[in-house]
Amino acid sequence: MPTIDRAGSTARVAADVNELTGSDYTLVPDAIRRYAYTDVYKNTLDYFEAQFEQLGFEVSYDPVGTFVARNRPVGEPVFGIGSHCDSNRNGGPYDGTLGVVVALEICRLNAEHRTDLPLQVISFLEEEGSAFAQMLLGSRIMVQRVDETDLKERFIATDDGRTFWEHAEEAGYEPERWRESSHVLDDLTGWIETHIEQARVLQDTDNRLGIVNAIAGYIHGDITVTGRSDHAGATPMDFRNDAAVVAALCVAELERLALAAGSGTVGTVGELDLSPGIINVVPGGARLSLDVRGPVDELVAKVIQEITAFAERTARERGLQASFAQRQTFPATPMDPRIVAALEAAGDAAGQPFRTMPSGAAHDTMCVADRVPSAMVFVPCRDGISHAPDEEADPADGALAAEVIFNAIQQLV
C-alpha cells in the first residue's frame, strides 16, 4: 500500500470543508442550509465540478440533478464513492458534505500515487429531505422506489407548495426521464459512502473510524388520538376525554417497548401536536410521530404493532379513539461482507483504532445496496452532535477515512 502524506491530505480536507461554509454555499449566516434547486446548492455542486474536472474526471448529472463524476467512459466498470452535499435547514458543515469531500480526496490520492483506480463519485440529490420533506429522495428515484405521481403531485416543496416536478424543470433538469436515473449505478462494481457517525460511540470508545456492517431499518408513522375538547377549569378530572394524557402514556410506553426489544432497537417521538392547542382547553385531539429503528426488521415491526395496540387499548379504556398511519418504511440493510473485510484490512494497515458497527441512521447507501455491493465508513463527530450548526468533526479523521477507503478499493478492483 502506498505511503500517504496524512498532513497534506488533512489540509486538503479541511480546506474543502471550510470553503463550503462560506456565504455562497448556505442560505443563512449562522448554519448550513442548502437543499435541492437553491442557488447555494448549485454553487456547491459547481465547486465539486471544478475540483473533479481538474483531476480529469467527466462530470454529469442524472435527469433530476444527482451529481456524477467518473474517470472512465460510461460502460466501463468503476468503483463508487460519495455521499450527499445538501443539508437540513439548521445544519452543520460535515453531515453529507464530508462524504463528498472524502471522495474528492480519494480521487486526489489516486492521481498523486498514480494508481489509476476506476472511480465514480456520486453526490445524491436531496438526502435530508429539506426541500420536499422526502428523505433519500435522489437515491430512491435512482432505484425506482417512487412513482411518477409522487414526483408530479405528492412531493411538495416546503417553501412554496409547488411540486418536485415543477422545481426540477425550472432548475433545467428533465424529470420526465427520471427512470433513466437508474443507469448511474449500472457500471458500479462496489460502493463505499463516508459519513459522520451522528452519535457518540466512536468518540466515547476512542476510535477514529467506524466500519459499518449494517444500516438499521425504520418505520415512520403517526398515532392520532381523538377525544373531546372541554373547558380546562370547569370540567372535573373524571369527566374528561383528554387526548394529551393518552399521547403522554404512549410516549412512555414506546420507550419501554424499544428497551425491551433490544438488539439496537430505538424508538422516538419527535413531533407531538395537541388540538386545539389552547392553554385553557382540554385537548380533544393529539398526534404523535413514531420513529422506530433497528437492525432487525422483525423487532421494529413488533414495536410498531405493540405501541399501536397500546394506544388503541388505552384510548378505548378512557373513552377515546386512537389509530396508526404509516408514513414511510425502509428495511434493514446488511453491508457487503467482502467490502467490509477489505475496509477492516485497510484499517488494520493504517494502524489507527477503528470498530465495526451498525448505523442507526438512514443513508443513501440503503438504496444503493439494492443494486451494488456496498459498505460505509463513519468518522466521529464531537459529542455526537449533528443536524446542528455546532456539528464538528476532525479533518484528520476524514483524511484517515480517505486513506483507508483508497487502500481498500485497491484490493477490491
Residue of 82, 84, 95 lying closest to 31 (CA atoms)? 95
Give the Cα separation of 143 and 330 in Å (integer).
13
Across the 413 residues of the chain, what is the mean pLDDT of every consecutive 10-residue run? 92 98 97 98 98 98 98 98 97 97 98 98 97 96 97 97 98 98 98 97 98 95 98 97 98 98 95 98 98 95 98 98 94 96 98 96 94 98 96 98 98 97
From start to end of 22-77, where are the E strands? 58-61, 67-70
DSSP 353-376: -EEEEEE-S--THHHHTTTS-EEE
| Helices 6-19/97-112 angle, 10° precision | 140
Planar angle of CA 56, 59, 60, nearest 5 degrees: 160
Q: Is 227 exposed, middle or buried (CB count within 10 Å of its CB: 0-12, 13-18, 19+)?
A: buried
| Helices 97-112/395-412 angle, 10° precision | 60
Name residue, grid cell 378530572.
Answer: 237
Give the Cα separation of 139 and 178 in Å (integer).
11
Residue 207, SS3? coil
Q: Do 411 and 346 meet the contact criterion of CB atoms below 8 Å apart?
A: yes
Q: How far is CA 40 from CA 155, 169, 201, 217, 361, in A?
A: 21, 18, 33, 31, 26
Q: Do 136 and 148 meet the contact criterion of CB atoms below 8 Å apart?
A: no
Element (H, E) at 212: strand 209-215
> What pLDDT is stored for residue 328 in this prediction?
86
Residue 2 is placed in which grid cell?
Answer: 502506498
Give the Cα separation of 155 and 84 in Å (integer).
20
Rg (CA), the chain: 23
Residue 3, SS3? coil
Residue 292 is placed in which grid cell?
Answer: 422506530
Residue of 393, 367, 398 lying closest to 382 (CA atoms)? 393
Give the Cα separation of 290 and 21 in Å (integer).
33
> What pLDDT is stored for residue 1 in this prediction?
77
Q: Do 247 and 225 meet the contact criterion of CB atoms below 8 Å apart?
A: yes
Domains of the chain: 6-215+332-412 (3.40.630.10), 217-330 (3.30.70.360)
Task: Evaluate the omega torsion of the peptide bond into residue 2 and state whether it is cis, within 30 degrees of 0.
Answer: no
Q: Do 332 and 217 meet the contact criterion of CB atoms below 8 Å apart?
A: yes
